[in-house]
Every structure is written in structure tokens, then in C-alpha cells.
Amino acid sequence: MKTALIIGGGFSGCAAAHQLEMLSGWDVTLVESAPFLGAGVRTQWFGGHPYTFGPRHFLTPYEETFTYLNAIVPIRRCPEHEFLTYVERDNAFYAFPINMTDVRTMPDYSEIQAEMDEKKREEFRGAKEAKNIEDYWIGSVGQRLYDKFIDEYSKKMWLIDDNKKIDTFGWSPKGVALKDGPRAAWDSAISGYPYAPDGYDYYFGFATQAARVLLSTTITNFDIPNKNVTFNGEKKSYDIIVNTIAPDTIFDECYGALPFLGREFHKIVFPTETVLPENVYFLYYANDEKFTRLVEYKKFTHHVSPTTLIGMEIPTFGNGKHYPMPYQSEQIRAERYFADMPDGVFSIGRAGSYLYGIDIDDCIRQTMLMAETLRAGGQDHPVPGENYRFPELQR
Ligand SMILES: Cc1cc2nc3c(=O)[nH]c(=O)nc-3n(C[C@H](O)[C@H](O)[C@H](O)COP(=O)(O)OP(=O)(O)OC[C@H]3O[C@@H](n4cnc5c(N)ncnc54)[C@H](O)[C@@H]3O)c2cc1C
């Protein structure tokens, strides 16, 4: 049997354990510093309401990731779900991504239209050549819509004073911005949430059932070039390592620390059955409020209660490595760490890939690609070459 170590028992670590079980022939150890699996995707309870750390709903363009997850934790589809953005200057809620049906109702529609006509003549040249997220959005939708929806939101989301600093932005949904109808942007994606009251929790146990799972255990020393790590005071060596934590951590920050943002999370119970309108699941706030969005969990979970729980997220420095910064310079730094990972070391998941664009479905897909790589190598040569991460998954 070949040996595999999985560093971290969040969604990607658990999904990796399941893929290795299905490959067979692997003796898998998963080490997780928290006393539970799933990290922020694990369901918690407050006032009888299930919630997770942030929304964590399943939204995917990949049929195969839905089919895979749905077979283990059946998913209730919610194609009707809408996101609204509150724009204080219009004192109005509009659907996000921005769509033409709403734009036509805006008080300054004629000015917006003039900007669009002008842009049309330029064939979105500005957007195509944009080097940062501000130029891209202004090039895509014009200054006025950028000011309403993006400017303040993006600055508070990333705790920055200038959106021109964001020079990688493949994940931003600009390409779908100006269709008709409030849900146009999500038409091609599968949207859903597990039926089970405890959300994805069954998945974490199921996916890791064949692995040796060590909870409340932190890996303290990493010798990645030799595929050795130390935990519980013992040094151990593995045939492959699947890393799901920040790549700088496993190299003792030898090229400098990679910046991340964290989140403060607040849960608020309201004395009514529901708070948000029928098909609205998220509210985004694009003004000077400190919080970025609110989510009403009942919309996903359908649990019955005379009260309802709303989750609120506030970007912070610290309190978790949740959001890799979307700066090219930092991605170049991350590449230096990836380049030092030998054959047989995969770095996956949001922190492990150092990519904000990695969501739950991408975590699953990355582990599927990892399994494909291992399978293609056969039992004798299961160690992959350069496939330590999967840049084509950026979106
Ligand atoms: C607030 C928020 C909301 C989100 N909402 C959505 C959403 O609605 N839909 C969606 O698809 N995606 C969403 N995402 C993204 C998605 O949930 C994540 O990409 C995914 O859960 C990341 O899982 P992971 O396993 O890569 O990383 P993590 O969940 O960060 O897991 C890493 C694990 O490693 C452990 N660990 C760290 N250091 C060590 C160590 N030294 N030794 C041992 N263990 C260690 C940690 O305790 C943790 O459990 C959201 C993310 C956030 C932050």
C-alpha cells in the first residue's frame, strides 16, 4: 500500500480522502487541527437554526460535481434563488449580477444608456484591455453602474482603498452583466443546498470513512521536498501529500507570507418566520456599511421555525485565512511555493491553491483531477508530475 497524507480536513481534504478511497491501494492519514471536519462548511446551530460560517451554497457549472455530491448528500435544487444588492444612492434593491431589466428602472437610466452607447461604439475595448478590476468593470458596464454596484463593495470586500490594486479578477461575474432578467447570470449553473438539516455534515464522515482521521492535531513541522511532516512529536514520511492549507505555511514562509483576509461572522435571529422576499437568498450591500452581505439560511434549509436566522459577514485582517488576495504579485509569490513542491505533492482547495475563485464545487473537481492523474500513473507510478494545482479552474 502507498501512503498518503492529507493536510487539513475541510471540504477539499475530505473530498481528497474519498477519491483516494475510490482509487484503492492507498493508506490515507488525514490530519485536522480543529476538533471536527468540514471547517466553515460544517453546520452549527443557534436558537434551533442550522447555519454555516458564511452561506456555502452549492453553485456549479459542472454537472459531474453535482452528480457526485448529490449521490452522497442529496441536494435540493433552488434555481429560483436571487441575490439583491442595496444601492443607497437610488434607495433601491437591484438584482446582482446587474441586468438590463433593473437598469431600465434606474433614475439615471438615460445617462447610463448614453455611457453604454458610447461603450458599444468602442466595442468594449476598454474592458478587453483592462489591467485591473476597476477598468474592467467600467469598460464592461460604464462608470455609473460601476459606482453603484462595484466601487464601495469591492473596496470593503478586500479592505483596500483603490480597486485598481486588484489586478487578477477572472472570478468576477462581469461577462454576464447586462442580460435581461434578474436570474440570467445563474441560468447555466446548478444551484442548491443539501436537504439534510445538518447540511453537508454527513459527507465529511462518509468521505473520510476509510482514512485514519486525526482531529485536534496540528502539523507543526513540514519538510515538503522530502515529503516528511511532524505531528504529535513524530516525524513521518509519505508517498504523496495532499495539502489544503496556505502554501507559504508548509514552507515556513521562506519566500514571505501570502496575504489573506478573514471574516467576522455574526448570526442574528429575527422574530418573524422569514425576513427576505420569497426568492431572495442573499442581500449584498454596496455602500459604506461594514458588512458585505446577509444570508437567510432558511431559504436553503427549509427548516420550520417561528423565527429566522440571518448571517452577516464583515471582512477583517485576521480571523482565518479565508480570502487569498487577488494580486498578481502575490500569485507570483504563491507560484514560487508551488514550484518547490516535488512530484507527489498536490496543493488544492481555496487556501492551498491560493485562489479566491475556488468554491466547494472546485474543491471536488480538483480532487477528481488529482485522482485522474494518479490513476493515469498506474499503481507502480502513481506520483504526478507538475499537477500540483489546476490553473484552468480559475473563474
Ligand atoms: C465566508 C465564506 C463563504 C463561502 N460561501 C461559499 C458558497 O456559498 N458556495 C461555495 O461553493 N463556496 C463558498 N465558499 C468557499 C468554499 O466554502 C471554500 O472554498 C471551501 O470550503 C474551502 O475548503 P478547503 O478544504 O480548501 O479549506 P478549509 O475549509 O480552509 O480547510 C482547511 C482545513 O485545514 C485545517 N488546518 C489548517 N492548518 C492546519 C495544520 N497545520 N494542521 C492540520 N490542519 C490544519 C483547518 O482547520 C481547516 O479545517 C465560502 C468561503 C467563505 C470563507
Q: Which three cell numbers stand for residue 339?
A: 514550484
Distance 53 CA to ligand 1 centre (A): 10
- Measure the N-to-C terminal CA separation of the chain; round to a whole number of Å: 36
Contact 373, 382 (CB under 8 A): no
Q: What is the pLDDT at residue 124?
A: 55
Give 377 or 183, the one with higher predicted confidence: 377
Nearest to 297 by CA among 310, 312, 287: 310
Residue 197 has pLDDT above 50, yes or no: yes
Distance 263 CA to ligand 1 centre (A): 12
Q: What is the pLDDT of residues 268-303, one digit of tens each?
A: 999 999 999 999 999 999 999 999 999 999 999 999
Measured CA to CA, the distance from residue 232 to residue 114 in angstroms comes to: 65
Nearest-CA residue for atom 36 of ligand 1: 8
Measured CA to CA, the distance from residue 103 to residue 38 in angstroms comes to: 40
Architecture of domain 2-41+200-258+325-393: 3-Layer(bba) Sandwich (3.50)
User: What is the pLDDT averaged over residues 178-207?
Assistant: 85
Measured CA to CA, the distance from residue 375 to residue 391 in angstroms comes to: 20
H-assigned helices in the chain? 11-23, 63-72, 100-103, 109-121, 125-129, 133-141, 143-145, 151-158, 201-207, 298-301, 328-339, 349-353, 360-377
Q: Which one of 60, 78, 359, 361 would you pick to mutate in the ligand 1 pocket, going by the greatest count of ligand atoms within 8 A of its CB?
A: 359
Burial of 235 (0-12, 13-18, 19+ CB in 10 A): exposed
Nearest-CA residue for atom 16 of ligand 1: 359
Distance 69 CA to ligand 1 centre (A): 17
Q: What is the pLDDT of residues 298-356, one digit of tens each?
A: 999 999 999 999 999 999 999 999 999 999 999 999 999 999 999 899 999 999 999 99
Sorted by sequence, the CB contacts under 8 Å of residue 291 that are 6+ apart come out as 266, 285, 312, 313, 314
Domain coordinates of the chain in residue numbers? Answer: 2-41+200-258+325-393, 43-81+183-195+260-324, 99-177
Q: What is the pLDDT of residues 90-116, one digit of tens each?
A: 999 999 888 889 999 999 999 999 888
User: What is the pLDDT averaged over residues 182-188?
Assistant: 63
Residue 25 has pLDDT above 90, yes or no: yes
Secondary element (H or E) of residue 314: strand 308-316
Residue 70 has pLDDT above 90, yes or no: yes
pTM: 0.93
Q: What is the pLDDT at residue 140?
A: 80
DSSP of 214-232, one letter per residue? Answer: E-S----EEEGGGTEEEET
Distance 354 CA to ligand 1 centre (A): 12
When the pLDDT of each residue in the chain is averaged and rounded to a whole number, the result is: 89
Banded model confidence at residue 135, pLDDT cuts 50, 70, 90? confident
Please give the number of the atom of ligand 1 that sits closest to the Cα of 231.
42
Please give the number of the atom of ligand 1 that sits closest to the Cα of 363.
26
Handedness of CA 152, 96, 137, 265 (dihedral sign): positive
Distance 381 CA to ligand 1 centre (A): 30
Please give the number of the atom of ligand 1 that sits closest to the Cα of 53.
1
Please give the number of the atom of ligand 1 that sits closest to the Cα of 37.
49
Q: Which three cell numbers stand for residue 79?
A: 434555481
Banded model confidence at residue 207, pLDDT cuts 50, 70, 90? very high
Q: What is the pLDDT at residue 387?
A: 36
Please give the number of the atom of ligand 1 that sits closest to the Cα of 249.
41
Residue 150 has pLDDT above 80, yes or no: yes
Banded model confidence at residue 141, pLDDT cuts 50, 70, 90? confident
Q: Which one of 31, 32, 53, 264 would you pick to mutate in the ligand 1 pocket, going by the greatest count of ligand atoms within 8 A of its CB?
A: 32
SS3 272: coil
Distance 8 CA to ligand 1 centre (A): 9
State percent of the chain over pLDDT 70. Answer: 89
Q: Which one of 56, 232, 322, 348 would you pick to mutate in the ligand 1 pocket, going by the greatest count of ligand atoms within 8 A of its CB?
A: 56
Lowest mean pLDDT among 130-134, 199-203, 224-228, 389-393: 389-393
Measured CA to CA, the distance from residue 310 to residue 54 in angstroms comes to: 10
Distance 39 CA to ligand 1 centre (A): 6
Banded model confidence at residue 171, pLDDT cuts 50, 70, 90? low
Question: Ligand 1 pocket: which residues have CB below 6 Å?
Answer: 7-13, 31-34, 39-41, 53-57, 59, 218-219, 244-245, 263, 313, 322, 349-352, 358-361, 363
